[in-house]
């Protein structure tokens, strides 16, 4: 819940962010899954149509790998959202969502940049995202076995 207050006759304004029963965390995985799903479709179409003439087949394959991994992990974020709704605000599930989102950005983002720029050093960043994704799945498995709050 975001609360905005302004005192009468005062130029003092405050903007307060309140976590009401974990509302933001309960729905953030679904929000980011939706945004990421939209980006997957857009980036997949962009790669298939706009980049086809300008990138080599190897770079297009890297681009498609990024799109595929991003879309697989959209499903993971939706699964985390479902478990949060079912089990409550378990920290292990929130950490799983955070790591999955970070992993998607680092893993797929580095591959998108590698495909566009050809800078091979970006490939050294990709495994960091992969580790984030693997740990996120482990935390999701732990969360799925945890008791509801």
Hey, is 135 helix, strand or coil? helix
**Is the predicted pLDDT of residue 24 greater than 70, yes or no?**
no
> Do 128 and 106 touch, CB atoms closer than 8 A?
yes
The predicted pLDDT at position 148 comes to: 79
The predicted pLDDT at position 1 comes to: 46
Average pLDDT over residues 120-149: 94
- Tell me the pLDDT tens digit for each residue of 75-99: 999 999 999 999 988 899 999 999 9
- Tell me the pLDDT tens digit for each residue of 57-76: 999 999 999 999 999 999 99
The predicted pLDDT at position 121 comes to: 94
């Amino acid at each position: 819940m975001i609360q905005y207050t302004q005192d009468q006759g005062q130029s003092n304004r405050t903007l307060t962010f309140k976590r009401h029963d974990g509302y933001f965390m309960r729905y953030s995985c679904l929000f980011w899954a939706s945004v990421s799903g939209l980006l997957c479709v857009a980036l997949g179409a962009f790669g298939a149509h706009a980049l086809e003439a300008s990138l080599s087949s190897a770079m297009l394959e890297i681009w498609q790998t990024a799109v595929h991994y991003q879309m697989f992990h959209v499903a993971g974020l939706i699964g985390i959202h479902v478990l949060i709704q079912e089990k409550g605000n378990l920290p292990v599930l929130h950490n799983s969502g955070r790591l999955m989102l970070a992993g998607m950005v680092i893993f797929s983002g580095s591959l998108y940049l590698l495909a566009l720029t050809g800078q091979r050093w970006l490939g050294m960043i990709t495994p960091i995202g992969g580790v984030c994704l693997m740990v996120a799945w482990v935390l999701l498995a732990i969360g799925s076995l945890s008791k509801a709050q």
